[in-house]
Structures are given as structure tokens and as C-alpha cells.
A and B are shown apart, each in its own frame.
Chain A
Amino acid sequence: MYFPCFRKNANAAMLSNYEVFKLLTDLKEKRKDSGRNKHSVGQQNLNTITYETLKHLSNTPCSRQSPEIVKEFLTTMMPHKLTNRAEKLQLLNHRPQTAVEIQLMVEESEERLSEEQIEELIQTVSDILPGDPEQQNVAPAEAEMDEGGEQS
């Protein structure tokens, strides 16, 4: 608990999970190279928070994103009537795949978006943001089973 330092602007900008993921990954690399005082008592807190935050973020969609993907996502999102920056941010961070998830992140989605628009949104999110490769391998296998029942 620290009572500091004068705070100029408490919410200067919101960061996407990807930006923080990249920042911490780069920081880790830089500190690995310098090596000399990584383990000193003072640096222990930075090590801990870096390790744990990366651990959490690596299980989320942001670990598969890049600056190009984020830029493409924001450009494609423009015509979708999502006025709120926070809404786009949540879609980017979570990569929702169902209408129920969209409704959680987009305020009053039932009034603002039709069913087709929600489907479109899910499709855009799915197309631009890379998903979990483990999960994606399941879907094609099921499709094969449906089509060719006799094939072994």
C-alpha cells in the first residue's frame, strides 16, 4: 500500500490487454539481457507482478494479437455503431463468440443492434482476432463427422 507521489491524471488512457502484454514481454526480455541486478531485493516486486500478469494474460486472446491485428480490428469496428471506447476494448480483450457475451459487453445491445448485426459482430471478431488454436481444432473435426458418416 503506497500513498504517494502526486497524481496528475488518474485515468489518462485505457490500455488494451495486448499493449500491457507486449510491454511486459519486452520488459522481461530487456531485463533478462542485462542480468546484473534482476534478483536484488528491490526488483523482486517488479519480477513478481510481471510474471503473474503475463501468466494471466497469456491465457487470453491478447496473447495472440499484434499491432496490425489491433489496428485492423479498430478500423473494422467503426461501422458497427459501437460508440463507446470501453465496448470496443472489451470485445478486443475477450473475443466474444456468442450473442450472450456480446450482450454483456455492449450496453443495451437489444435496442441498438438487431440479431443480424450481432451475428455480424461475432463474425468480424472471430475473423480478425485469432482464437485459441486448441479450441479451433475441435470444430473442423465435428464438421467432418457430420458429412461423411461412412468414412473411417
Chain B
Amino acid sequence: MFVLVEMVDTVRIPPWNFQSKLNEAISEELNKKLANKVVYNVGLCICLYDITKLEDSYIFPGDGASHTKVHFRYVVFHPFLDEILVGKIKYCSQEGVHVTMDFFDDILIPPESLQQPAKFDEAEQVWLWEYETDEGAHDLYMDQGEEIRFRVADELFVDTSPTGPATAAKETPKKEPPYTLIGTICEPGLGLLSWWNS
């Protein structure tokens, strides 16, 4: 679920922070820059793990701040393909079941990856599994708040950097999440935990 990513960056420390220890000032700046942010093709950054190397600090003309090149490792949320994860159902829609893991919300299980046969109940806005037994069909509802076990089937990184003024004026900005996980529960053992607990 979590990986350690080695990164290099130049950290700018303004003069009013010169009284702090360099390491602390740098840690603070790095966390301010990266914590809770998605880095394209890397994942959701959680927090700084450690600083591996500090190069010399420089002050440039016209700017009183110091600039330091830092090599560091950051804890990143980036599940591997086929990893099993457990989350909670946020809500259901025509697009599928939306799952949340508290710190990460953009998880979708599309209709074709649900336990089959699946049906969408329009009235209650909930997906259900039409589970067949000898006694007949049981409808197993995928209610909000239920814990759900799923497998990571795919991931989607979208570059949400701002585009130039030319395009921005015409299009209504569609807010796409920068990092989405596509899950599947189409296997024995996957789906609501309550379905499989004996």
C-alpha cells in the first residue's frame, strides 16, 4: 500500500526561518510542499521519511532566502497492481461503487467488476448482488459505510496542471481527480466483509 520514494528537490528557506535548525526547517518545507498532494505517476504523498543528503546552501542575489538541494525519501501511498485493500463504501452511482479509505477517496469499482449478476437499484441508489442459492435469489445490498475488500485492477494518473489562458476560457473545468484507483470485487472473498465472515 505504501512505498518509499527517493526524491531530489531544492528547498527555499526564507530568512525569518533562519533561527531553526536547517534539518527542521527543510523537513517543514518539504511536508508543506508535498504532504497530502498527488505527484504525477508517483502517488499520494503522506509524509517525509528521512533526509539522505543535504548539499550546500546558497543565497542568490535579490533574494534573502537560502536555497538547498536536498535528497530525501518520502512515504507515498501507491498500491501495487493486484493488491488487496479494504475500504468503506462512500456511495453508489451509475458509474459503479465509490470506495473511500479515509485518507484517499478516489476509488471506483465499475459495474462490470462487481460480483455478477449485479443490479442498480434506482430508488435507493445502491448496487446489489443478485446472489443465487438453491432457495432462490438473495439480494445483497452494497450499503453506504459498509467495509469492502477489493483488488486493485488499474490506476489512472491525470495531469491536472493549469493549462494556458486560451483553453481555460472556453471549457468548463471538469474536476478530474489527479489519481484514481480502479478496483474489482469479482472474485471469491472480495466484496463486503460481511458476505464472507462465517
Contact = CB atoms under 8 A, between A and B. Distances in A.
A90 B40 CA distance: 25
Nearest to B43: A10
A56 B6 contact: no
B1 A93 contact: yes
Contact of A15 (B2, B32, B83): B2
Interface centre among B28, B32, B84, B103 (most CB of A within 10 A): B103
Interface in A88-105: 90, 93-94, 98, 100-101, 103-105
Interface residues of B, number: 51
B9 A8 contact: no
A12 interface: yes
Interface string B38-58: 111110111101000000000
B182 interface: no
Interface stretch (B112-120, B135-143, B185-193): B185-193
A56 B42 contact: no
B185 to A, nearest CB: 11
Interface centre among B41, B71, B84 (most CB of A within 10 A): B84
A6 B7 contact: yes
B151 A104 contact: yes
Interface residues of A, number: 45
Given A5-B8, A7-B5, A20-B46, A56 B102 contact: yes
Contacts of A15: 2-4, 75
A95 B37 CA distance: 30
Nearest to B179: A1
A151 interface: no
Contacts of A19: 2
7 contacts: A1-B40, A1-B159, A5-B8, A5-B39, A9-B6, A10-B3, A45-B36
Interface of A: 1-17, 19-20, 23-24, 27, 37, 42-43, 45-46, 48-50, 52-53, 55-56, 60, 86, 90, 93-94, 98, 100-101, 103-105
7 smallest beta-carbon distances between A and B, as pairs: A5-B9, A52-B103, A49-B36, A100-B189, A45-B36, A42-B32, A46-B35
